[in-house]
Amino acid sequence: MFRKKPLRINSYLGYGTAVRLRAIGRALEDEGIDFNGNTGTLRTLWNIYKQFESDEIPNIKIELTLADGTSFIATTDAEGYYHFDQKFKKALSSHSIQWYPYTLSFYNTQKKKIIQSNTFRGEMLIPSVDASYGIISDIDDTILHTGVASLFKWRVIANTFFKNFDKRLPLEGTVDFYKKLEIGKNPSVTNPIFYVSNSPWNLYDYLSAFLKKHNFPKGPILLRDFRTPFDKTPKPKTPHKYSEITNILDLYPKLNFILIGDSGEKDADIYIDISRNYPERILAIYLRNVKHKRKEKRILSLINKHSTTPSFLVNTSKEAETHARKLGFIN
C-alpha cells in the first residue's frame, strides 16, 4: 500500500477556434481504473471510489504541444487540475469541423515514474465556420436517467455507484435526436455539441464511456469540481452551468445555440436567464419532463411567461424532434 504509484495525465476533450484553445485535465497518480464493459457491481464500486479518492498532483507543470510543434505550459492547481486558455500566433484551418490533436506531458520531471512514456493525447473541437448552430445539452435525466428529482437523490447514488456505464441505457430516442441535430439540414457540415453537467469531474471517464458506448455525437464534456463539506476554497458565485454556457457563447459570437435539459433541477431557470441575456443567440430550449408534478407545474409557468425563445417541456425525444422539424433545425 506504500508503493509509489506512477503518474498520469487525464486529458478531457477541449474546444476552441482557429485562434484559441481551451483545455482542462488533471494530473493524478495512476490507479489502473478501467471502465471497459462487463464490469460487475464490485468493480464498478471500486472504480468510482478510486475516482473520488484519487491522489491528485498539485503544483506541477504540464506541457501542451500542438501538431505544428507550438507548446504551452500550465501549472496544476491544488486539486491537480490544469487549465489552458491560449491564443495562437498562427490561425488553424477551421473550414470544416475537426478534432485538432495535441499531446500533453509532465514538464521537467525526470525523477518521477510516468506511464505511457510521458505522452498523453488530447483533442480540441474546432466548430466549422459554416455550422448552422451548436447544441448544448445536460446529461443527468436529459440523456441518462439518474434520478436527480428523487428523494435525497438516492437514485443518483444507486444508478451511478452500482451500475457500470455499459449497463446504463440512454433515455428513449435521445441518440437519434442528437444525431439529427448534429447533421441539421446540411449533411456536409456537422453542428458542434457540448455536454454541460453538474456532475463532478471525477465521473468524466464514466460519462465519456457511456456516451461513446451508445454512439452519441462526440463533444466536450464540461463538468464541475467536486466540493466536500470541508472545502475551504470560495464557492463560485455563478452557477456552473451558467458559467460554462456563457463561456461557449462568448467564444463563438457568430454561432447560435439550442439548449437541452430537463425539469428536474434548475435547467429551465438557467436556460431562460441565458436566453434573456443573449436574446438573438438561443434558437430553442428543450426540457425533458421528469414526471414530477410540482416541478412540472413550475416549469410550465416559467415557459408560459417567457417569450424571448421558443421553449418546450417534452415527454419524449419524438416530441422534441417534431418541434425541431417545425422550426427548421432538422429535415
pLDDT digits (tens, 9 = 90+) for 148-205: 444 434 344 445 444 555 567 899 999 999 999 999 999 999 999 999 998 888 888 8
In this structure, of 88-92, 121-125, 151-155, 267-271, the range with the lowest mean pLDDT score is 151-155
Share of residues in the chain with pLDDT > 90 (%): 58
| pLDDT (tens digit per residue) in 3-13 | 578 999 999 99
Span 251-278, mean pLDDT?
94
Give the pLDDT score at 152: 38
Query: Distances from the Cα of 256 to the Cαs of 111, 253, 299, in angstroms?
Result: 48, 8, 23
Q: What is the pLDDT of residue 80?
A: 92
Q: What is the pLDDT of residue 158?
A: 43
Q: How confident is the model at residue 37 (pLDDT cuts 50, 70, 90)?
A: low
293-311 pLDDT, tens digit per residue, is: 788 899 999 999 988 899 9
What is residue 36's predicted lDDT score, i.e. its pLDDT?
Answer: 57
Residue 294 CB contacts under 8 Å (≥ 6 apart), including other chains: none
pLDDT attached to residue 166: 59
Long-range contacts of 82-90 (CB under 8 A, 24+ apart): 82/23, 82/24, 82/25, 82/26, 82/27, 83/23, 83/24, 84/14, 84/21, 84/22, 84/23, 84/24, 85/20, 85/21, 85/22, 86/20, 86/21, 87/19, 87/20, 88/18, 88/19, 88/20, 88/21
Say which residues have a Cβ less than 8 Å from residue 214's Cβ, sequence separation at least 6: 169, 170, 175
Do 220 and 125 touch, CB atoms closer than 8 A?
A: yes
